[in-house]
Chains A and B, each alone.
Chain A
Amino acid sequence: MSINALSTQEALNSLVSSEDGLGPDEAQRRLRDSGPNEIGLIAGEPLIWKFLRQFTHFLAVLLWVAALLSFVSEYLNPGQGMLQLALAIIAVIFINAVFAFAQEYRAEKAMEEMRKLLPFNVWVLRGGVEKEAAASAIAVGDVVLLKAGDKVPADARLIEAREIRFNNAPLTGESEPVAGTALPFPGELVRSPNIAFAGATVLNGSGKAVVFATGLRTEFGRIARLTGTVQAGETPLQREINRLTHIIAALAMGIGAVFFTIGYFIGVPFWDNFIFGIGVIVALVPEGLLPTVTLSLAMASQRMARKKALMKTLTSVETLGSVTVICTDKTGTLTENRMSVRKTVELALGIKPSLYEIALLCSNVEIIEGRPEGEPTETAIYNEAVRSAAVPGSVRLAEFPFGPEIKRMSTVCSVGGRTYVLSKGAPESIFSICRKCSAADPSTPRPLEEAVPVCNSLMDEGLRVLAFAFRELKPPEEARTRQEAERDMTLAGFMGIEDPPRPGVKEAIGKCGESGVRIVMMTGDSARTAVAVAKQVGLFSGKEGIPVLDDADFRDMSDEALRPVLSGRAVILSRMTPEHKLRVVNILKDSGDRVAMTGDGVNDAPALKRADMGVAMGSGTDVAKEAADMVLIDDNFVSIVDAIEEGKAVYENIRKFISYVFTSNVAEVMPYIFFIVFKLPLALTIIQILAIDLGTDMLPALALGAERPTPEVSRTPPRAEGKRLLDLPVVARVFFFLAMIESASGFSGFFHVLYSSGWKWGEQLAASDPVYIRATTACLAGIAVAQAANVFQCRSFRESVFRIGFFSNWLIFPGVAFEILLLLFIIYTPFGNGVFSTAPLGWDVWLVLAPFALLLFFAEELRKLMARRFFPEKKPSI
Chain B
Amino acid sequence: MYGKILAAVNEHINSEVSARYAINLSKVTGSRLFLCHITPHEAAEEVRALSLDAVDRLLRCARSEGVTAEGVTGSGDVVAGIVRLVQREGIGLVFAATRRKDVERRFYAGTVARSLSIGLPCSVALVRVVHMGRGQPREILVPLKERMGRVTEMSYFVAMMARAFDSRVYLFHAAEKKKAVSGIFPRDAGVRPIEQEVELPPMVLNFIEQLEIYKVKHEQRLRAGPAGEGLTMEAAARRYGLIIMGASERSLLSSLIRGNPVEEAMRKTPCNLIVLTARHEH
Q: Which residues of A are at the interface with B, using a C-beta cutoff of 8 A?
A: 1-5, 13-16, 29-30, 32-35, 140-141, 155, 157, 188-190, 195, 212-213, 216-217, 221-222, 225-226, 229-230, 239, 243, 246-247, 249-250, 558-559, 563, 582-583, 586, 589-592, 606, 720-722
Which residues of chain A come closer than 8 Å to B191, judged between CB atoms? 592
Chain B min CB distance to A452 (Å): 34
| B76 contacts A by Cβ under 8 Å | no
Chain B min CB distance to A344 (Å): 41
Q: What is the bound-complex CA distance between A190 and B57, given in angstroms?
A: 28
Whether the Cβ atoms of A589 and B12 lie closer than 8 Å is no
Which residues of chain A come closer than 8 Å to B184, judged between CB atoms? 246, 249-250
Which residues of chain B come closer than 8 Å to A14, judged between CB atoms? 132, 135
Chain B min CB distance to A148 (Å): 25
Chain B min CB distance to A585 (Å): 10
Q: What is the bound-complex CA distance between A34 and B128, given in angstroms?
A: 11
Whether the Cβ atoms of B134 and A189 lie closer than 8 Å is yes
What 0/1 readout, one digit per residue, does chain B (1-29) give for beta carbons within 8 Å of chain A?
Answer: 00000000001111010000000000000
Main secondary structure of the interface of A (DSSP, over half): helix
Whether the Cβ atoms of B194 and A1 lie closer than 8 Å is no
Whether the Cβ atoms of B185 and A243 lie closer than 8 Å is yes
Query: Which 10 A-B pairs have CB atoms at the shortest separation, nearest pair first?
Result: A592-B192, A722-B190, A212-B133, A3-B133, A212-B132, A721-B190, A590-B193, A590-B194, A246-B184, A1-B136
Whether the Cβ atoms of B133 and A1 lie closer than 8 Å is no
Which residues of chain A come closer than 8 Å to B186, judged between CB atoms? 239, 243
Please pick, from B13, B138, B219, B239, the residue contacting A30 in the complex, using a CB distance under 8 A: B13
Q: What is the bound-complex CA distance between A239 and B241, given in angstroms?
A: 37
Which residues of chain A come closer than 8 Å to B238, judged between CB atoms? 583
Whether the Cβ atoms of B236 and A225 lie closer than 8 Å is yes
Known: A592-B194, A722-B190. A229 touches B132 (CB 8 A): no
Q: A33-B100, A559-B221 are in contact. List 11 more A-B contacts (CB 8 A).
A: A29-B12, A34-B100, A35-B100, A140-B132, A195-B133, A217-B130, A225-B232, A226-B236, A239-B186, A246-B185, A592-B195
Chain A min CB distance to B165 (Å): 9
Whether the Cβ atoms of A155 and B133 lie closer than 8 Å is yes
Which residues of chain B come closer than 8 Å to A33, judged between CB atoms? 12-14, 99-101
Residues of B260-274 at the interface with A, using a CB-CB cut-off of 8 Å, are 270
Q: What is the bound-complex CA distance between A46 and B232, given in angstroms?
A: 20
Which residues of chain B come closer than 8 Å to A558, judged between CB atoms? 219
Which residues of chain A come closer than 8 Å to B213, judged between CB atoms? none
Whether the Cβ atoms of A230 and B99 lie closer than 8 Å is no
Q: What is the bound-complex CA distance between A123 and B260, given in angstroms?
A: 41
Whether the Cβ atoms of A2 and B136 lie closer than 8 Å is yes
Known: A155-B133, A157-B133, A558-B219. A720 touches B190 (CB 8 A): yes
Q: What is the bound-complex CA distance between A592 and B16, given in angstroms?
A: 45
Whether the Cβ atoms of B270 and A590 lie closer than 8 Å is no
Please pick, from A1, A155, A586, the residue contacting B135 in the complex, using a CB distance under 8 A: A1
Which residues of chain A come closer than 8 Å to B212, judged between CB atoms? none
How many B residues have CB within 8 A of the partner chain?
39
Chain A min CB distance to B168 (Å): 11
Which residues of chain A come closer than 8 Å to B134, judged between CB atoms? 2-3, 189
Q: What is the bound-complex CA distance between A606 and B54, given in angstroms?
A: 39
> What residue of chain A has the Cβ atom nearest to residue B53's Cβ?
A16
Whether the Cβ atoms of B13 and A141 lie closer than 8 Å is yes
What 0/1 readout, one digit per residue, does chain B (88-123) give for beta carbons within 8 Å of chain A?
Answer: 000000000001110000000000000000000000
Which residues of chain B come closer than 8 Å to A249, judged between CB atoms? 184
Whether the Cβ atoms of A222 and B239 lie closer than 8 Å is yes
| B181 contacts A by Cβ under 8 Å | no
Whether the Cβ atoms of B133 and A229 lie closer than 8 Å is no
| B253 contacts A by Cβ under 8 Å | no
Please pick, from B13, B133, B219, B221, the residue contacting A189 in the complex, using a CB distance under 8 A: B133
Residues of B184-234 at the interface with A, using a CB-CB cut-off of 8 Å, are 184-186, 189-195, 219, 221, 229, 232-233
Q: What is the bound-complex CA distance between A216 and B131, given in angstroms?
A: 10
Chain B min CB distance to A36 (Å): 11
Which residues of chain B come closer than 8 Å to A559, judged between CB atoms? 221
Whether the Cβ atoms of B236 and A140 lie closer than 8 Å is no
Residue among A13, A33, A722 with most chain B CB within 10 A: A33
Whether the Cβ atoms of B133 and A2 lie closer than 8 Å is yes
| B257 contacts A by Cβ under 8 Å | no
Whether the Cβ atoms of B192 and A591 lie closer than 8 Å is yes
Chain B min CB distance to A595 (Å): 12
Q: What is the bound-complex CA distance between A239 and B189, given in angstroms?
A: 9
Q: What is the bound-complex CA distance between A406 and B233, given in angstroms?
A: 30
Whether the Cβ atoms of B270 and A222 lie closer than 8 Å is yes
| B43 contacts A by Cβ under 8 Å | no
Which residues of chain A come closer than 8 Å to B189, judged between CB atoms? 239, 243, 721-722
| Sample (6) of A-B pairs whose CB atoms are under 8 Å apart | A2-B135, A2-B138, A30-B13, A140-B132, A213-B133, A243-B189
> What residue of chain A has the Cβ atom nearest to residue B46's Cβ?
A25
Q: What is the bound-complex CA distance between A660 and B134, given in angstroms?
A: 61
> What residue of chain A has the Cβ atom nearest to residue B165's Cβ?
A1
Which residues of chain A come closer than 8 Å to B138, judged between CB atoms? 2, 188
Residue among B11, B16, B99, B236 with most chain A CB within 10 A: B236
> What residue of chain A has the Cβ atom nearest to residue B17's Cβ?
A14
Which residues of chain A come closer than 8 Å to B133, judged between CB atoms? 2-4, 155, 157, 189, 195, 212-213
Which residues of chain A come closer than 8 Å to B195, judged between CB atoms? 592
Whether the Cβ atoms of B237 and A3 lie closer than 8 Å is no
Q: What is the bound-complex CA distance between A7 and B252, given in angstroms?
A: 47
Whether the Cβ atoms of A190 and B239 lie closer than 8 Å is yes
Whether the Cβ atoms of A226 and B99 lie closer than 8 Å is no
Q: What is the bound-complex CA distance between A722 and B190, given in angstroms?
A: 4
Whether the Cβ atoms of B270 and A3 lie closer than 8 Å is no
Chain B min CB distance to A406 (Å): 21
Whether the Cβ atoms of B131 and A213 lie closer than 8 Å is yes
Q: What is the bound-complex CA distance between A246 and B183, given in angstroms?
A: 9
Whether the Cβ atoms of A590 and B100 lie closer than 8 Å is no
Chain A min CB distance to B130 (Å): 5
Known: A29-B12, A213-B131, A213-B132. A606 touches B193 (CB 8 A): no
Q: What is the bound-complex CA distance between A157 and B192, given in angstroms?
A: 44
Q: What is the bound-complex CA distance between A155 and B133, given in angstroms?
A: 9
Chain B min CB distance to A715 (Å): 23
Whether the Cβ atoms of A15 and B192 lie closer than 8 Å is no
Chain B min CB distance to A215 (Å): 9
Q: What is the bound-complex CA distance between A294 and B182, given in angstroms?
A: 29
Whether the Cβ atoms of A140 and B13 lie closer than 8 Å is yes
Whether the Cβ atoms of A16 and B13 lie closer than 8 Å is yes
Which residues of chain A come closer than 8 Å to B219, judged between CB atoms? 558
> What residue of chain A has the Cβ atom nearest to residue B184's Cβ?
A246
Known: A157-B133, A590-B193. A229 touches B13 (CB 8 A): no
Whether the Cβ atoms of B132 and A589 lie closer than 8 Å is no
Residues of B135-160 at the interface with A, using a CB-CB cut-off of 8 Å, are 135-136, 138
Which residues of chain A come closer than 8 Å to B185, judged between CB atoms? 243, 246-247
Chain A min CB distance to B199 (Å): 16
Which residues of chain B come closer than 8 Å to A216, judged between CB atoms? 270
Chain B min CB distance to A212 (Å): 4
What 0/1 readout, one digit per residue, does chain B (235-263) give for beta carbons within 8 Å of chain A?
Answer: 01111010000000000000000000000
Whether the Cβ atoms of A226 and B135 lie closer than 8 Å is no
Known: A14-B135, A243-B186. A225 touches B270 (CB 8 A): yes
Q: What is the bound-complex CA distance between A30 and B16, given in angstroms?
A: 13
Chain B min CB distance to A32 (Å): 8
Chain B min CB distance to A41 (Å): 13
Whether the Cβ atoms of A217 and B131 lie closer than 8 Å is yes
Whether the Cβ atoms of A229 and B192 lie closer than 8 Å is no
Please pick, from B54, B233, B239, the residue contacting A229 in the complex, using a CB distance under 8 A: B233
